[in-house]
Chains A and B, each alone.
Chain A
Amino acid sequence: MNKLLIAVSTLGLIAAGGTGVAFAADVSKAPSKKITVFYPGASGMEWILKGTLHGGAKGIKKGESCVGCHVDEKTGNEEAPDIGNKIVAGEKSKDMALEPEPIMGKPGSIPVTVQAAHDADNLYLRFTWKNTGFSSGKKMDADNPIKLAVMLEEPGKVEYDTVGGCWPTCHNDVRTMPGVKDDKKTKYVVGGNLAAGKYFDIFQYKSGKGQKPNDGYIADKRVMDGGKALLDAKGELKGDTWTVTFTRKLAGGEGDVKLETGKTYNFGFAIHDDYTHGRYHYVSLGYKLGLDDPKAEINAVKQ
């Protein structure tokens, strides 16, 4: 009987291997990187590029990234907490407040632990952070207490993508921004063209009951579905810690950035807490994501 069981089990394992069934990578064991997301107020791309308002505009126009100036390359210290605190409190910078309506008590930033791994088919991302517990009482998106969105882009396609992160998609005339004329106008990239590869890939986890994750892209406008890459997005609040994980195919379809080893990709993410939407989120600066690339700021290691 025992011999029969062993034989059946062995056959089963061989069959599984033969049909390509593999165990998913355990992203919780991947190396981690701390990235502080901060409250950006209304600092859209137009503000970023305006030298009279943003001292870094000169550098950006010469190809410098946000991280190049706002994260100390020697110590790793991030300016994000200071920047977030000032903006959320409505403090002026160069005579302009980036948050015209300061939000009392809202934390200016959240430190997030980011982990990435991949296997032959998929990319796995894991984000953990301490729940802010902040409640403004306003429920802009009543269905979702928390959302986490990730954007990816193949460098060199979108104008000013060297700035990194999600900024090339954020403009002064989109909804919730100060220069909005059409409150249905969503994020876009200048010269956005899906066929020409001028787009940002976006996928999002939403914490509301029964809410499905989004997988879309941002070209001339934001399209939040139709993507073929996102396989799964899960999130849970355990104690005071949120954990969100994504499983995404390395290659999807139209609007999904194809991830390959030997290349790096623009990577940014944003967290909406307190039932917020639009610009009322926390954002990361832009980082480079690579597969098995120790030089990449976020290195997805193969498991």
Chain B
Amino acid sequence: MSDTQNSSKGWCTALCKPSGRYSLLTLLLGGFVAGIIVWGGFNTAMEATNQLEFCIGCHEMKDNVYQEYKKTIHYSNRSGVRAICSDCHVPKDYAHKMMRKIQASKEVWSKITGTIDTKEKFEAKRLELAQREWARMKDSDSRECRNCHSFEGMDLDKQKQRSRKNHEMAQKEGKTCIDCHKGIAHQRPKGMPEEDEE
């Protein structure tokens, strides 16, 4: 038997054996504190990735979509309510958030391999990236938009005529926000197919 096998067997035995050295209370308390540290640390780290500063830490985001977003109402408006990247692109509830984060880990690979590290590469990929995000939003019935906006909360009488008309039509036809509101925070991709606006 090799040394490695002996060593892992020893760890397993140690983990499975009742402790003769620490009391149950110590172990429980130790586990509780360790749990808080690990769990809290994990969540804190995950929340850190939801900050605007984190998102624009990469020049790919800072030089492209961030500059476009800064010109929109979601960045600056009369009431001072700001929706940052994660408000629109990361679900709020835990399960969906975790799934989104796992999906987003692929973006790390894209960063390393430099798939959009120049303006030209970004523009070449903009439509694909946008369509992927539009599809995600459509699948979730624009869940992230609806964290702040809802048909129920809208006073159509206070809207401009064309907004009122379109919102009435959208409600009647069961449309979701992203069906009509593509390109409200970023430039619309060049060559966007007409069916994306149907």
Contact = CB atoms under 8 A, between A and B. Distances in A.
Interface of A: 50-52, 55-59, 62, 64, 68-74, 77, 79, 94-95
A72 B161 contact: yes
B160 A52 contact: no
Q: Which 9 pairs across A and B sit closest by C-beta, in order of nearness?
A: A51-B197, A69-B162, A72-B161, A52-B197, A52-B192, A69-B165, A95-B188, A69-B161, A52-B194
A285 to B, nearest CB: 12
B183 interface: yes
B162 A70 contact: yes
A73 B192 CA distance: 33
Contacts of A56: 162
Interface of B: 157, 160-162, 165-166, 169, 180, 183, 187-188, 190, 192-194, 196-198
Contacts of A52: 188, 192-194, 196-197
Nearest to A64: B165
Given A51-B197, A95-B188, 4 more contacts: A52-B188, A52-B192, A68-B165, A74-B161
A64 B188 CA distance: 25
Contacts of B157: 74
B180 A55 contact: yes
Nearest to B170: A58
A291 B183 CA distance: 45
7 contacts: A50-B194, A51-B197, A58-B180, A68-B161, A69-B161, A74-B157, A74-B161
Nearest to B192: A52
A95 B197 contact: no
